[in-house]
């Protein structure tokens, strides 16, 4: 996509983190914006900020787990702008712990947002974009799905999150290939950020009551939360930088987008293990103190 001015961008999870920075970047490029978020106060703040800059904005409260709400988001977009060019399937949540200790409610919440939210976005918005391409001369479209480095790796006590993000990478690669097969004027990208301060480690604030656990967190879940808080909070790459890199990737029609390109060595090692038929290696080989700290927390130390 070369021209952004007056094009329509739809962004889920737009009230904070990457989503808010995608919106700010799009606004700076003269885009018309559709903001979606499940957190109403954050959504209202984002809307007010952008309206004050003179940006054309439509804000829609949306829980991406629910197909009907994503369909309503699409319907509202078309009713207001009659077009969609750039879609960020970005809403996401985090949860951890030993994989056998995650409850059914944990799985339903994390997969509901991280995976089904992207599925609904792809399933609903891609046909709309294909229809727009038939009506608009010189149409350019792009879909960006937010995954994670956890979609390429499998660190311990992050199993439920790893599963959701691996599925997003697979879905995105499949989308890319299918669009190429039908020669659509639409590109696709998958964003795989590492640890970036975005607020995802506090995503439980938006967990619906129906999917909350009655029992308290296990030792492994407390350990995973503590490690997530520290890793995310100490991240040196900002959400602003990630948004800039993502828009650059859209310009270049680049599929894989990384926040930390220098952190890809573990991905290479994992691929070599797969191709070589070797057992998975220790993800903390280079930082054994992290492994021992995690084990200590699991023992309650």
String of DSSP letters for 266-295: HHHHHHHHHHHTPPP--TTSS-HHHHHHHH
Q: How many other CB atoms are there within 10 angstroms of residue 55's CB atom?
A: 18
Record the pTM: 0.96
Check 139, 161, 176, 194 and give the catalytic one.
161
Check residue 227 and give its pLDDT.
Answer: 84
Q: Within a domain: residue 1?
A: no
DSSP reduced 3-state for 221: helix
Q: Block means of pLDDT (10 residues each) for the chain, length 301 residues? A: 96 97 98 98 98 98 98 98 98 95 96 98 98 97 98 95 98 98 98 90 89 92 88 89 98 97 93 97 88 88 72
Q: For 259-270, write each residue's pLDDT tens digit.
A: 999 889 999 999
Distance CA 113, CA 92 (A): 6
Q: Within a domain: residue 3?
A: no
DSSP reduced 3-state for 239: helix
Q: Within a domain: residue 2?
A: no
Total structural domains in the chain? Answer: 1
Domain at 255, CATH number:
3.40.50.720
| Helix axes 40-51 and 17-28, enclosed angle (nearest 10) | 20
Angle at 88 between CA 141 and CA 196, to 5 degrees: 135
Check residue 39 and give its pLDDT.
Answer: 96
Distance CA 279, CA 39 (A): 42
What long-range pairs does 208-212 form, CB within 8 A, spacing at least 24?
208/63, 208/109, 211/105, 211/106, 211/108, 211/109, 211/112, 212/105
Known catalytic residue: 256?
A: no
Calculate the CA 170 to chain-centre distance. Answer: 14
Check residue 245 and give its pLDDT.
Answer: 97
Concatenated DSSP letters of 90-149: -------B-GGG--HHHHHHHIIIIIIHHHHHHHHHHHHHHHHHHHSTT--EEEEEE--G
Check residue 138 and give its pLDDT.
Answer: 95
User: Domain span at residue 212?
Assistant: 8-298
Q: How many other CB atoms are there within 10 angstroms of residue 125's CB atom?
A: 22
CB 73 within 8 Å of CB 60: yes
Check residue 102 and give its pLDDT.
Answer: 96
Q: Within a domain: residue 241?
A: yes
Q: How many other CB atoms are there within 10 angstroms of residue 181's CB atom?
A: 8
Check residue 203 and give its pLDDT.
Answer: 87
Check residue 95 and give its pLDDT.
Answer: 92
Distance CA 109, CA 95 (A): 9
């Amino acid at each position: 996509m070369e021209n952004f001015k007056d094009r329509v961008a739809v962004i889920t999870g737009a009230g904070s983190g990457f989503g808010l920075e995608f919106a700010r970047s799009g606004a700076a490029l003269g885009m018309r914006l559709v903001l979606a978020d499940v957190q109403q106060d954050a959504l209202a703040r984002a809307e007010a900020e952008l309206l004050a800059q003179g940006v054309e904005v439509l804000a829609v409260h949306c829980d991406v787990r629910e197909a009907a709400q994503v369909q309503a988001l699409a319907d509202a977009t078309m009713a207001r702008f009659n077009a969609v060019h750039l879609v960020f399937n970005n809403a996401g949540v985090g949860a951890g712990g030993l994989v056998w200790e995650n409850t059914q409610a944990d799985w339903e919440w994390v997969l509901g947002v991280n995976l089904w939210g992207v599925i609904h976005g792809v399933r609903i918005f891609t046909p709309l974009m294909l229809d727009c391409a038939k009506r608009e001369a010189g149409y350019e479209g792009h879909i960006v799905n937010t995954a994670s480095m956890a979609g390429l790796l499998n660190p311990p006590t992050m199993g439920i999150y790893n599963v959701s993000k691996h599925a997003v990478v697979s879905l995105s690669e499949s989308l890319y290939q299918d669009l190429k097969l039908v020669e659509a004027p639409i590109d696709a990208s998958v964003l795989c950020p590492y640890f970036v301060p975005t607020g995802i480690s506090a995503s439980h604030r938006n967990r619906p009551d129906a999917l909350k656990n009655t029992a308290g967190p296990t030792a492994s879940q407390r350990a995973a939360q503590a490690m997530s808080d520290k890793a995310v909070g100490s991240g040196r790459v900002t959400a602003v930088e990630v948004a800039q890199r993502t828009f650059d990737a859209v310009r270049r029609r680049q599929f894989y987008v990384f926040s930390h390109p220098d952190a890809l060595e573990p991905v290479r090692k994992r691929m070599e293990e797969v191709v070589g038929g070797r057992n998975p290696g220790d993800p903390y080989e280079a930082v054994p103190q992290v492994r021992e700290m995690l084990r200590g927390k699991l023992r309650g130390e």
